[in-house]
Amino acid sequence: MTIGVTGAGGQLGGQVLDNLLAKGVAPNEIVALTRDPAKLATYAAKGITVRAGDFDKPAELEASLKGVERLLIIPASDLRPGIRTPQHKNAVNAAKAAGVRHVIYISTTGAHRGQDLFTAHLETEQTIYASGLAWTILRMGMYYDNLWMGGIAYALANGAYAATAPSGEGKVARSDVAAAAAALLAAKGHDSRLYHATGPASLTPADVAGAISNVFGKKVDAVTVTQEQYDGGLKAAGLPDFVVDAIGGIEVARAKGLLDVVTHDIQHLTGRKALTLVEYLASTKHLAQAKAAAH
C-alpha cells in the first residue's frame, strides 16, 4: 500500500512522516509531496519518495499522485480569502484523476459557513463527499502550539490572557494530530468516518491562563476584551489584515462555542491519551527561553 502526504514540507506534514516511519511503514511505501522537494532531502535520504506537489499546479499534482492509494490532504497554508477552497478542490480532483482510492482530509472543529478559513474546510469536505472517493475526515481543534505565536509571551509579560468570552475549547497538540493522521494512513478502513482530534478537556480562557501560571510559575489571569480590542491587538502586532481576519474569526467561533468539542478519538486511533495543555507546555517550556534569547 502506497501512502501519500501533501504539504509534507510543513510542520504537521513532517511529523506525520516521522510517525509513519516510527510505525514501521517502509520508506519506499511513502510519497511525500511538497512545493519545494529540496526541503525534504533528509527524508529522501531515508528512502521516502519525494515529489513536487503544488495545489496551484493540478496537472503536476496529478502526475505526482500516480501510484498513491491512500492520500492525506493537509490544508494549504495560504490564509488569504478565496484561495484555499479552489486549491483544495484541485487536490481532490487530481487525486481522483490519478487513481487514488482513499482520501484523508485534515479539517477543523467548527467547520461552517462563516469566516473564510472555516468555509474553506466545509467546502473541501463537501467536495470530497461528492468526489466518489473513499474518505475519512479528521477535524482538529486549534493547536496548543499556536500559543507560542505571541500568546504565551504576552501572558508572561503582562500577567493577562485575553479572550472575548469564557467559552471552552478543545485545543490539541500538533504532535497528537500528526500521530492520529499517521494512524489513519497506515491502517486500512476508516471509510466514511469523521473523527475529531482534540485534547482531553474543554479549556476556558481561565483554564489556559491557569496552565500558563502553573508551568511558568507566574500569575496569569484571564481578561475579557471586546472583539474590536482583540483584533486591534493583532493589528498592533503588525499582522496583515487577512491574518487578523483569520485569527479574529477563530476567536469569534470559539466565543460562540463552535470549538467546544472534546473526544477521545486520538486515544482511539493511536492507543495513547492526548496531551493535556499542562503536559504540552511543560514539554515545550524551553521555547520561552529560546525566544527570549532570539530578541
Within-domain flag for 287: no
Within-domain flag for 223: no
Which stretches of 187-276 are DSSP H helices? 205-216, 227-236, 241-255, 265-270
Q: Is 9 in a helix, a strand, or coil?
A: coil
**The three three-digit cell numbers of residue 291, written as one number:** 525566544
Virtual torsion, Cα 216, 219, 220, 223, nearest 10 deg: 180
- pLDDT tens-digit series, residues 258-277: 999 999 999 999 999 999 99
Chain-centre distance for alpha carbon 184 = 15
CB 199 within 8 A of CB 173: yes
Q: Is 5 in a helix, a strand, or coil?
A: strand
Secondary structure percentages of the chain, helix, strand, coil, to 5: 50, 15, 35
- Residue 49 scores a pLDDT above 80: yes
Within-domain flag for 136: yes
* β-strand partners of 196: 139
* β-strand partners of 193: 136
Please report the pLDDT score of residue 288 as a whole number: 81
Average pLDDT over residues 173-183: 98
Q: Is 190 in a helix, a strand, or coil?
A: coil
What is d(CA 13, CA 49) in angstroms, rounded to the nearest whole number? Answer: 14
What backbone torsions phi and psi does residue 271 show, to the nearest 5 degrees? Answer: 85, 5
- Residue 290 scores a pLDDT above 70: no
Q: What is the CATH number of the domain that holds 117?
A: 3.40.50.720
- Residue 203 scores a pLDDT above 80: yes
Number of compact structural domains in the chain? 1
**The three three-digit cell numbers of residue 56, written as one number:** 496551484
Look at residues 86, 61, 84, 59 and name the one whose alpha carbon lies nearest to residue 71. Answer: 61
Within-domain flag for 41: yes
Within-domain flag for 192: yes
Within-domain flag for 205: no
Q: Is 162 in a helix, a strand, or coil?
A: strand
First to last CA, the chain: 47
- pLDDT tens-digit series, residues 227-239: 999 999 999 999 9
- Domain range spanning residue 106? 3-141+173-198+261-274
Reported as a pLDDT band with limits 50, 70 and 90, residue 291 is low
Within-domain flag for 137: yes
Please report the pLDDT score of residue 261 as a whole number: 98
Q: Is 116 in a helix, a strand, or coil?
A: helix
Q: What DSSP character marks residue 273? A: P
Within-domain flag for 20: yes
- Looking at the chain, the whole-number percentage of residues with pLDDT higher than 70 is 98
